[in-house]
Structure 1
């Protein structure tokens, strides 16, 4: 009788065979579930989700997606590609240079959140689940299955902290909760960097063109959302989709490509922005476009003060108001006591010069302060400007600003016979009033970007960065701190006044209530500062993107009513928690907030 022997079990073999994801599924089954669920979700968008057209977006049609189905389809296609990349990492390495699994989790989460939000919105608005067609039930089940499969994929578990035998009660519970949070976070953040082969210059330029075209398409879709549920779904899909691309390594790879072709990227970005009015059939959304450019230009000027020089200015919107009032008073408005009508170039110079003078006058006595004290003084200046503009009404003071009524009936610009208030036709496209001002503001933005970039790369720009990093060390190295900070203050004020000259003509009226510290609608000092921090301090593209988001989102979230600022604040808190360096940070700030990131061989310039 022979005895059957069993091979000894190697240590760790049981752990290797066991599922290591958040859900107890084998890895092969989890990948199949994520891929199949994502593909089925994409197919479900071609079915009807409801039987009635009472829900906006026309989700009753078979054969092509509409409304929120388009967003679900985009998220499902991205999740399907990432699931295929996790199956074939060698063939699709270009798609996931940093690994597929963390990106797949975020992509399936985006699809799940958007699809379930749509299903719940249909049920809530129309009165129950009975209003769903089979496609609505199918997308709910398929999206949930795809997310479950992605969460069951293995990830790198964080090493647990050594247990302290003296810990009891709440201390052990706290350590357990912390470890659980670290485990869940690792499921979405773990990645394995992979080398990406270099591409020829022509191929990289084509990639830049594709990135800009995608950015223009996403911005045009977001600004053109027609109803509240569609914009909310857009925020969910775009936010989580961008995070998924970041975890896949595509955002970092794109940043490296654009950094190697900075001039091409900047020129291409302005060309893409100039194409925006041609994508609109009327002036409705071109209005938002020109206001976004005004807000973004002022935020970029504030980025010099806060992002480069490190000076916390809480009254920066006052410089925008100084430029707007100066231009309005000399542009032929009937409400102006001066009765002067100068050409636009003279009004631009007047607005920029007035803001520059005020910047020097305010900065000279206050810039010897630091930190919170400087912030309090600038906050006071912003309020003093608004109160003074209210009092210069001929009763409480001299008649200059017409008090709370402001300077009204500012005429449209007429530059070299081109009337900005009239409708023009260009290449078969009708260009309205706000589109005309959009192109003008785009030129102003290009000037501000040029000033920011050249000054950031100059000797004075390096001095600003030195003051921001350590003012004491900079003074010890021979930098004249007061002069350097005053220069930053003056340049930032001048750029804000430059944008204010265009804002005065776009809005027709300049009133003190437009220049508050905080309010529901930007521009104001609080939103300007948030745009700089949110986008990425010390960069060019960061404040531009941050300002666009901070202006667009409040305008689209007005249906929330009194809860608008609450929801907006929660979103900012979450973003600062998970990405404190901003959406488009430079390498210095990325290293400050992520010390575990390997240091680059060289640092980018201040305006990168």
Structure 2
């Protein structure tokens, strides 16, 4: 006796006929798209001027983008020639996430207009049309048949079907490999689009636009991941690693040339500083497994060393080293501090080590605050710090002045961005070579089980001290550039926690959220954690609260990080299989019946 008669052949969240669901998704996305070409409000008091008919602007462009992507992926699900390559992992999850992104952006815009102006009465028909269209698209997408039929003895719950439909099948590498030149072009185009999206986010002129951009990008990224495009891109970048690295640096070099506003270029420079420091911490936390809660102090050591040696009128030393010598000195002093702190403390493990490193971070901040001439020798200027740090000059190139290069004007922040990009390349090379060496494998062994590593002959203390010292050196190197970018250094810049990075709490969060033990993970995590507070200054009093909620949600949905290490991904998701209802094949497919069993 077989069970095929009672087995559902498709899994949907809403009980909608498949044909109606497909038509509703296409119609809803099209209606939302049409609404963006109509006026959304009667006054231009709302940022972005949404009063123009026939020419979308501001937040309307985000809704238009989400609706257009939803349409394209829905057509791909219908098998339209030329679009099937967009969904190697199945279109269902992509369509639903993109429809949610469109609805989220549109609903946020409607709410922002109502709050900013005179309530819902301030909305013109275009806003209602896009809102209704995006809602129809979401509801219809929830009725689409699953990419892979969910088969079980008992009908699954609606919540489980919703989770399963969003996850979709596991994407696989392309079965038909592209020519090598086409793969390289795909990588270059993808990195160019990434640069464009990143630049658009930094260049947003008002907070409402940035929040809408954030909603669209986050949900859209989930959609692209469910479609399998990110998995396919990862496969290509791993295959052409050298080409990917070169293309990434070329895209990064292009960034300052796209910025007309030096303020936005400064955000990019600070993101690079924060990201490189997070990458140095990744050696300590991600590779060696040492929880360092005072790591930002090493950034301060390098910054203070450069400030004292770079010719500032307020420097108590009164010397002026060339920058390359000041940078090496800052890195060396940070290394010394790392060894001094690590030698007596790295025999501790776990929480005890974390408490000691937290104490070191606070001791550094308080010491810099007390070396003011009253509580101690006048070395660091106390709470006022060391101001008036002069701009750099290397080989006649003055970093404080704008320069015209190939018809583009490169401002002060752009100059420092390119300098910091060189430092980032150095730190990336050190991290990569260290992680792939015998020492790197020993660090991973210590991270996984220090007792077992010691039993295999690994000198845990010496290797942990090496990781601690190397991480401190890289942080000090980045600190020497930070001192010149910010013009001054003060003790309050190097706290454990605060409303904005850099601080130790945000650095650790950048490593964990981005992906411990990976190269690109901390860079992405640091970019997000710096960019979001920098663009949402009006929410400064609530940033830590919002950050806490976001951290909880991300750790629940993706505990291995945005760019997971393969070991961490298996570790976190191997147990999740126990939480899911068992999925079985129909008995006629296996040739086994209940009677036969």
1:181-192 alignment, distance < 5 Å: 181-191=159-169
Secondary structure at 2:404 match in 1: strand
Contact 2:371 2:378 in 1 (8 A): yes
Q: State the 1:430 CA deviation.
A: 1.4
1:222-279 deviations in whole A, cap 9, x for unaligned?
1111111111101100000000000011111111111111111111111111111111
1:52-99 deviations in whole A, cap 9, x for unaligned?
111111111122211011111111111111111211178533111111
Map of 1:51 onto structure 2: 42
Matched, 1:98 2:89: yes
**Aligned-partner Cα distance in 2 for 1:129–1:333:** 56
Q: State the 1:508 CA deviation.
A: 1.0
Matched, 1:348 2:339: no
Q: State the 1:592 CA deviation.
A: 1.3
Contact 2:7 2:151 in 1 (8 A): no
Map of 2:590 onto structure 1: none
Judging changes above 3 Å, is the alpha-carbon distance between structure 1 residues 527 and 473 closer, same or farther for their aligned structure 2 residues? same
Q: State the 1:322 CA deviation.
A: 0.3
Contact 1:308 1:537 in 2 (8 A): yes
Partner of residue 134 from structure 2, selected from 143, 157, 172: 143
Secondary structure at 2:205 match in 1: coil
Partner of residue 576 from structure 1, selected from 532, 546, 555: 555
Map of 1:278 onto structure 2: 257
Q: Which has the higher contact order (CA 8 A, sep 6+)?
A: 2
**Aligned-partner Cα distance in 2 for 1:389–1:281:** 37
Contact 2:76 2:91 in 1 (8 A): yes
Map of 1:413 onto structure 2: 392
Contact 1:299 1:532 in 2 (8 A): yes
Bigger Cα displacement from structure 2, 231-240 vs 189-198: 189-198
Matched, 1:336 2:315: yes
Matched, 1:465 2:456: no
Q: State the 1:496 CA deviation.
A: 0.1
Judging changes above 3 Å, is the alpha-carbon distance between structure 1 residues 497 and 593 closer, same or farther for their aligned structure 2 residues? same
Matched, 1:370 2:349: yes
Matched, 1:490 2:469: yes
Judging changes above 3 Å, is the alpha-carbon distance between structure 1 residues 153 and 66 closer, same or farther for their aligned structure 2 residues? same
Map of 2:339 onto structure 1: 360
1:173-572 alignment, distance < 5 Å: 180-191=158-169, 193=171, 196=174, 197-572=176-551
Secondary structure at 1:498 match in 2: helix
Matched, 1:80 2:71: yes
Secondary structure at 1:425 match in 2: strand
**Aligned-partner Cα distance in 2 for 1:561–1:522:** 12
Contact 2:172 2:232 in 1 (8 A): no
Secondary structure at 1:94 match in 2: helix
Bigger Cα displacement from structure 2, 62-71 vs 512-521: 62-71
1:129-168 alignment, distance < 5 Å: 129-155=120-146, 157=150
Q: State the 1:101 CA deviation.
A: 0.7
The two structures, once aligned, show a CA RMSD in angstroms of 2.0
Q: State the 1:40 CA deviation.
A: 2.2
TM-score normalised per structure 2: 0.93
Bigger Cα displacement from structure 2, 419-428 vs 359-368: 419-428
Contact 2:12 2:161 in 1 (8 A): no
**Aligned-partner Cα distance in 2 for 1:93–1:531:** 36
Secondary structure at 1:137 match in 2: helix
**Aligned-partner Cα distance in 2 for 1:195–1:448:** 31
Secondary structure at 2:42 match in 1: coil
**Aligned-partner Cα distance in 1 for 2:245–2:478:** 20
**Aligned-partner Cα distance in 1 for 2:530–2:193:** 20
**Aligned-partner Cα distance in 2 for 1:404–1:190:** 54
Contact 1:99 1:194 in 2 (8 A): no
**Aligned-partner Cα distance in 2 for 1:260–1:194:** 15
Partner of residue 22 from structure 1, selected from 9, 13, 20: 13
Matched, 1:112 2:74: no
Judging changes above 3 Å, is the alpha-carbon distance between structure 1 residues 585 and 502 closer, same or farther for their aligned structure 2 residues? same
Secondary structure at 2:484 match in 1: helix
1:85-139 deviations in whole A, cap 9, x for unaligned?
2111785331111110111111100001111111122122221332222211110
Secondary structure at 2:52 match in 1: coil
Q: State the 1:12 CA deviation.
A: 5.5
Judging changes above 3 Å, is the alpha-carbon distance between structure 1 residues 193 and 221 closer, same or farther for their aligned structure 2 residues? closer
Contact 2:510 2:525 in 1 (8 A): yes
Q: State the 1:580 CA deviation.
A: 0.8
**Structure 2 unaligned regions, length at least 5:** 578-597
Contact 2:269 2:416 in 1 (8 A): yes
**Aligned-partner Cα distance in 2 for 1:596–1:389:** 47
Contact 2:278 2:510 in 1 (8 A): yes
**Aligned-partner Cα distance in 2 for 1:411–1:160:** 73
**Aligned-partner Cα distance in 1 for 2:171–2:497:** 42
**Aligned-partner Cα distance in 1 for 2:60–2:5:** 45
Judging changes above 3 Å, is the alpha-carbon distance between structure 1 residues 113 and 410 closer, same or farther for their aligned structure 2 residues? same
Q: State the 1:471 CA deviation.
A: 1.0
Judging changes above 3 Å, is the alpha-carbon distance between structure 1 residues 459 and 562 closer, same or farther for their aligned structure 2 residues? same
Contact 2:293 2:357 in 1 (8 A): yes
Map of 1:68 onto structure 2: 59
